[in-house]
Amino acid sequence: MRASFRLFTRENLFAAAFILILVTLLWLVFSVLRPFWEDFMWALIFALTLYPVFTRLKNLLRGRGGLAAFILTSLIFISLVLPGSFILINLGQEAKDAYRALSKMSFSEKGLLLAQRIRNSGLQPYLERWGIQPEQTEALLWNGISSGLKDVPKIIGERVSLIFKNLAIFGLHLLFVMVAVFFFFRDGPRYARFLIGLLPLERPYQERAVGAFSKTVTAVVRSMFVTALVQGILAGAGFTVVGLPVPILLGLLSAINSFIPFLGAASVWIPAAIWLIIQEEFLKGIGLGLYGLLVISTIDNFIKPLLIGESMKIPVFLLFFTILGGLKVYGVLGIFLGPIILSLGMAFLTIYREIYLSAPVAKTEHDIAPDESLSEGG
C-alpha cells in the first residue's frame, strides 16, 4: 500500500510560516541598514586590512581589546582627516587662483601666441602638406582654445562648490565608518563565528569561503599600494619632463591622493596642466593633460587586475572587466566588491563541483585545505 503524500501538514505549514517571517524580518533589517551598507563595507575593509595590527596592539595592552580598538580607530581617523583637510584647503585656494587667472585671460592673444610657436617649431610645413595654411592654423587654434578654456572657470567653480557642499555628508559617513571599525575590531571574531555558522556548508568549506573573502580584500589593498607607488613615480616623471617645480613632492602628493576616492591622482596633474597653460606653456600643458589622462590615471586599470589575479589565481581578463563593472555599479567601493564577488563565486563553484559533481570519494579535513586554490587552472 503506497503512503499518501500530504502537502498541507502541520509541520509544513509551520515551516513555511517560519521561513516567511524570517525572510520578512531580514528584508526589514536590510531596508533599515541599507543607507549605511557602504559605510559597513569600508569599515570591514579597514578592519580586515589592519586586524593584524590590532592583534599586536591588543597583546601589548595585555588583552584589553576595547582600548586597543579605540586607539587604532583614532589613529585611522586622524590619518584620514589631517591629510584630507590639508589637500582640500590647498585645492580650494589653487582653484580660486586658477579661476581668477583664467577669467582674465585674453584668448585671442593666447591663440596667436600658440600659432606663432607652432610655426617656429617646424610643424607648419607638415600642416601645409594637408592644405592647412598659417591663417587657418591661427583660426583653428583660436576657436579651439577659446571654446575649450572659456568653460574651465565654470567647471572649476562647480566642482569645488560640489566638493565643499558634500563635505559635511562625507564627514558624517566617515564618523559612521569609524564607529563600525571600532566594533569590528573589538567584536569581529564573535561576528565572524556567527556569520560563518550560518553557511550551509561543512566546516572546511566554510573556512575556504571565508579565506577567499579575506585574501581578496588583502590582495586588493596590496594592489592599491602598488598602484599608488607607480602612479606617483609616473606623475613625478611627467612633472619633471614639463619642468614643473618640486616634481618629487607633486609625485608624492599624486600617490597619496590616489588613495582618496573623490580626489585621485587627477587632482594633482589637472591643476598642474592648467597652471602650465596659464603660464603660456600651452604645448607642455596639453601634453601633461594627455599624459595624465592616458597614462597616470589609466594605469591602475591594468595593474590592479594583474596583481589581484596573481595573488588569487583568477584569470586577469575576468578581473579587469569585474573591476570596471564594479566601478560602474558600486562606485569606488566596486574596486573591492568586484573582485570579492568574483572570488566568492569561483570558490562556491569549486565547492559545488567537489560536493555534487565529483565522484563520491571520502575526503578528510586534511584533503580540503582552507587555502586551496580557487581555480586549478588559474
For every residue of 285-309, DSSP letters joined together read: HHHHHHHIIIIITTTHHHHHHHHHH
Range of the domain at 57: 36-198
pLDDT band, residue 368 (cuts 50/70/90)? very low
Q: Which of 272, 268, 274, 243 is nearest to 256 (CA)?
A: 268
Residue where one domain finishes, among candidates 160, 179, 198: 198
Question: Residue 128: what pLDDT?
Answer: 58
User: Does residue 273 share a domain with residue 155?
Assistant: no
Which of 340 and 373 is assigned the larger pLDDT? 340
Cα distance between residue 57 and residue 365, in whole Å? 33
Determine contact, residues 216/308, Cβ cutoff 8 Å.
Answer: yes
Q: Is residue 24 part of a domain?
A: no
Q: Is the dihedral of CA 248, 250, 253, 259 positive or negative?
A: negative
User: Does residue 302 share a domain with residue 248?
Assistant: yes
pLDDT tens digits, one per residue of 117-128: 555 555 556 555
Q: Which amino acid is at 163?
A: I
pLDDT tens digits, one per residue of 215-244: 888 888 888 888 889 999 999 999 999 988
What is the mean predicted confidence (pLDDT) over 332-361?
83
Backbone angles phi and psi of 255, in degrees to 5? -65, -40
DSSP characters over 190-215:
HHHHHHHHTSSS-HHHHHHHHHHHHH
Q: Is the dihedral of CA 324, 327, 333, 337 positive or negative?
A: negative
pLDDT band, residue 373 (cuts 50/70/90)? very low
Residues in the chain: 378
Which residue has cell 565643499?
Answer: 164
User: Does residue 157 share a domain with residue 86?
Assistant: yes
User: Does residue 188 share a domain with residue 285?
Assistant: no
pLDDT > 60? residue 273: yes
User: Does residue 219 share a domain with residue 194?
Assistant: no
Q: Is residue 166 part of a domain?
A: yes
pLDDT > 80? residue 163: no
What is the mean predicted confidence (pLDDT) over 2-28?
83
pLDDT tens digits, one per residue of 36-70: 988 998 898 889 888 989 999 999 998 899 999 99
What is the mean predicted confidence (pLDDT) over 82-99?
61
User: Does residue 216 share a domain with residue 330?
Assistant: yes
Q: Is residue 67 part of a domain?
A: yes
Cα distance between residue 71 and residue 92, in whole Å? 32
Q: Which amino acid is at 297?
A: S
User: Does residue 193 share a domain with residue 275?
Assistant: no
Which of 86 and 373 is assigned the larger pLDDT? 86
Which of 316 and 230 is assigned the larger pLDDT? 230
User: Does residue 259 share a domain with residue 234?
Assistant: yes
- State percent of the chain over pLDDT 70: 70
pLDDT > 80? residue 254: yes
Q: Is residue 15 part of a domain?
A: no
Average pLDDT value over all residues in the chain: 78
pLDDT > 60? residue 377: no
User: Does residue 189 share a domain with residue 242?
Assistant: no
Question: Residue 74: what pLDDT?
Answer: 94
Residue where one domain finishes, among candidates 198, 228, 258: 198
Backbone angles phi and psi of 374, in degrees to 5? -75, -25
Q: Is residue 373 part of a domain?
A: yes
Determine contact, residues 219/226, Cβ cutoff 8 Å.
Answer: no
pLDDT > 50? residue 285: yes
- State percent of the chain over pLDDT 90: 19
User: Does residue 187 share a domain with residue 232?
Assistant: no
Least confident of 150-159, 173-182, 313-322, 359-368: 359-368
pLDDT band, residue 275 (cuts 50/70/90)? confident
Question: Residue 135: what pLDDT?
Answer: 54
What is the mean predicted confidence (pLDDT) over 89-94?
60
Question: Residue 18: what pLDDT?
Answer: 92
Burial code (b: 16+ CB inside 10 Å, e: under 16) for 90-103 equals ebeebbeebbeebe
Q: Is residue 12 part of a domain?
A: no
Question: Residue 262: what pLDDT?
Answer: 60
Q: Is residue 17 part of a domain?
A: no
What is the mean predicted confidence (pLDDT) over 264-268?
83
pLDDT > 70? residue 93: no
User: Does residue 210 share a domain with residue 280?
Assistant: yes
User: Does residue 215 share a domain with residue 247?
Assistant: yes
Residue where one domain finishes, among candidates 141, 165, 198: 198
Question: Residue 372: what pLDDT?
Answer: 47
Q: Is residue 144 part of a domain?
A: yes
pLDDT > 60? residue 370: no
Question: Residue 162: what pLDDT?
Answer: 64
Cα distance between residue 245 and residue 110, in whole Å? 23
Overall number of domains in the chain:
2
